Structure 1
Amino acid sequence: MSEIVANRYAQALFEVAEERDAVDVIESQLRIVAESLYEHKDLRRVLMHPQVSSNNKKELVNKLFENQAGVEVLNLLRLLIDRKREAIIEDVLEAYTRMANEKRGILDATITTAVALDDQEQQELADRLGTALGKKLSIHAYVDKAIIGGIQLRIGDRLYDGSIAGKLAGFKQEIKVGRQG
């Protein structure tokens, strides 16, 4: 549910950013705010606390971010505070970044392998996949020993499973179906 709401806020902010030709600048400002809230747990606690008034939260946000964020990002923060949605700022950043990358022709790809890939391997994989898809890829790599070997690739809502665990699960399903038939 919060993802849907975050997408709406991100879409509104993105439209304003496009009108002002400030997509990159606003993304950078939004990232600074989200990272600050993530890194400073006490600040996050204050902003999420129901006993702290909206006015006090907005005053705190203004003081903390007036030199790092423009009027668009500050207005978004105030709006989130007024609507008691302070907790979704990271989701808004994620949705906004996805929209900005789409405009730039960049796809987000999540790659899961059984062993860690070094930076060069990640870049080579991104280049090869990007060429095949006709897009630039932004790679997010994760390690999951449970896949045993191979690779899982997620682009958007599509999962390409070339892992050994995925193949074993497929074989298991074929055997089950074969027994019933």
Structure 2
Amino acid sequence: MFEFITIARPYAKAIFDFSLANKDIEYWQQTLTFIAKVVVDKKIKKIFPRGLSPKDMYTIFNAICGKKLNKSAKNLIKLMAENRRLEILPTVLDEFIKLRNIHESLAKVSVISAINLNSKQLTDIENILEKFLSCKVTLNHRIDISLISGFVIKLGDLVIDNSISGRLSNLTKILKS
């Protein structure tokens, strides 16, 4: 996965910059979502054997997508087929969304709790995080009873673990060292 991210980032950045310059970010996110779904489809994966030429890959992909792609999107597919990078399109989409969220000052945060949090608790967490991060926050809440008690907040690489299981894990590490 690390290799895919490394390769996908420049593509995502170029696509994002292009979409920003042309004021069509939404089109590109929808297009990348569509073509990423095409790439991961099991039936499509069978069509693209390793020995297929880039031109044939582009022709087949173009035929599958039909008129859903504009000229620029077709050029992207052609370039990625020539570089044998079609399989990284889902990662390109993920990186594109990250760039869009940064541009729009939007953070998607996961809140994992041991019990169900009510709407006031979630709103309070959202408000605190918006002040802390200085951006709009959207929360994704889920329950994980293995936490025993407390919660874990995840935003990319940032993890705030205020759970009993997290504290027990840290204590175990300290006692073992």
Tell me the TM-score range normalised by the shorter chain.
0.7 to 0.9
**Closer, same or farther: CA 143–8 of 1 in aligned 2, 3 Å:** farther
TM-score (structure 1 length as normaliser):
0.80
Residue identity opposite 1:43 in structure 2: I
**Closer, same or farther: CA 123–172 of 1 in aligned 2, 3 Å:** closer
Q: Secondary structure at the match of 1:21?
A: coil
- Whole-angstrom distance in 2 between the partners of 1:78 and 1:84: 10
Deviations 1:92-138 (A, max 9, x none): 000001001110110132333345768x5896344553244321123
**Closer, same or farther: CA 160–17 of 1 in aligned 2, 3 Å:** same
Task: Give the unaligned 5+ runs of structure 1.
Answer: none
- Whole-angstrom distance in 2 between the partners of 1:149 and 1:57: 52
Deviations 1:148-177 (A, max 9, x none): 332222212211111221111223344456
Name 1:41's counterpart in structure 2.
Answer: 42
How far does residue 141 in structure 1 lie from its aligned partner after superposition?
4.4
How far does residue 89 in structure 1 lie from its aligned partner after superposition?
0.6
**Closer, same or farther: CA 56–170 of 1 in aligned 2, 3 Å:** same
- Whole-angstrom distance in 2 between the partners of 1:46 and 1:152: 42
Residue identity opposite 2:33 in structure 1: R
**Closer, same or farther: CA 67–88 of 1 in aligned 2, 3 Å:** same
How far does residue 145 in structure 1 lie from its aligned partner after superposition?
4.3
The answer to whether the 8 Å contact 2:57/2:81 transfers is: yes
**Closer, same or farther: CA 76–143 of 1 in aligned 2, 3 Å:** farther
Residue identity opposite 2:169 in structure 1: A
How far does residue 12 in structure 1 lie from its aligned partner after superposition?
0.9
**Closer, same or farther: CA 35–127 of 1 in aligned 2, 3 Å:** farther
- Whole-angstrom distance in 2 between the partners of 1:65 and 1:126: 39
Q: Secondary structure at the match of 2:154?
A: strand
* Identity of matched residues, %: 20
The answer to whether the 8 Å contact 2:39/2:87 transfers is: no
Name 2:81's counterpart in structure 1.
Answer: 81
Task: Give the unaligned 5+ runs of structure 2.
Answer: none
How far does residue 17 in structure 1 lie from its aligned partner after superposition?
1.0
How many residues end up aligned between the 2 structures? Answer: 174
- Whole-angstrom distance in 2 between the partners of 1:121 and 1:59: 53
RMSD: 2.6
How far does residue 46 in structure 1 lie from its aligned partner after superposition?
1.9
**Closer, same or farther: CA 17–159 of 1 in aligned 2, 3 Å:** same
